[in-house]
Structure 1
């Protein structure tokens, strides 16, 4: 796998009420990822960028919502999210607070 591909896989953290609850209870972190990324690529990208050990990766694809802009019908793009389970004692801090 080439190094540049690892930096394009993760689009950012997916912050929601559900992802916060999952992070507290199950030790999982939710990322918004490239739609063509597979689980092994996501695992390698998270381990390299955040220097943590990943135990499991589960993915889900979300269809883009239909939206109206006045009289024009539009559609948001499809996207993919990854539920990344970290090893016991591992943590990723997105806020940078110490």
Structure 2
């Protein structure tokens, strides 16, 4: 498979009550490419958001949920979630401003 570029790593931010509370501790949650590793996620955050410095990255693979529509049973797609902690002197990420 082709190499993953930094702009393909971060898919979208996760906006939940728990992730919004973690923003006070400079921890941001993103859905990321399933094949991205921690080093690629760190590079992508630092390149996409000016002035940010990543302290640590925690990742988790989420299995698809079972869904049923009538008698048909299926599963949603697997996803990968990353929690990115920024350093104290780092700037905040602007896409979360005003939420």
TM-score range (shorter-chain normalised) is: 0.7 to 0.9
Structure 1 ranges of 4+ moved more than 3 A: none
Q: Distance in 2 between matches of 1:63 and 1:17?
A: 21
1:38 matched to 2:37? The reply is: yes
User: What is the distance in 2 between the residues matched to 1:5 and 1:71?
Assistant: 41
For normalisation by structure 2, the TM-score amounts to 0.87
* Count of residue pairs brought into register by the alignment: 94
Measured in 1, the distance between the counterparts of 2:16 and 2:64 equals 17
Are the structure 2 counterparts of residues 31 and 71 from structure 1 closer, same or farther at C-alpha, using a change threshold of 3 Å? same
8 A Cα contact 2:4 2:36, kept in partner: no
Two-structure CA RMSD over aligned residues (Å): 1.7
Matches within 5 A, 1:51-62: 51=50, 52-62=52-62
Q: 1:31, 1:22 → 2: CA distance?
A: 12
C-alpha distance after superposition, 1:38-95 (max 9, x if no partner): 0000000000000211111010111110000111101001101110011114201215
- State the alpha-carbon separation in 1 of the partners of residues 21 and 83 from structure 2: 12
Q: How far, CA to CA, are the matches of 1:38 and 1:84 in structure 2?
A: 12
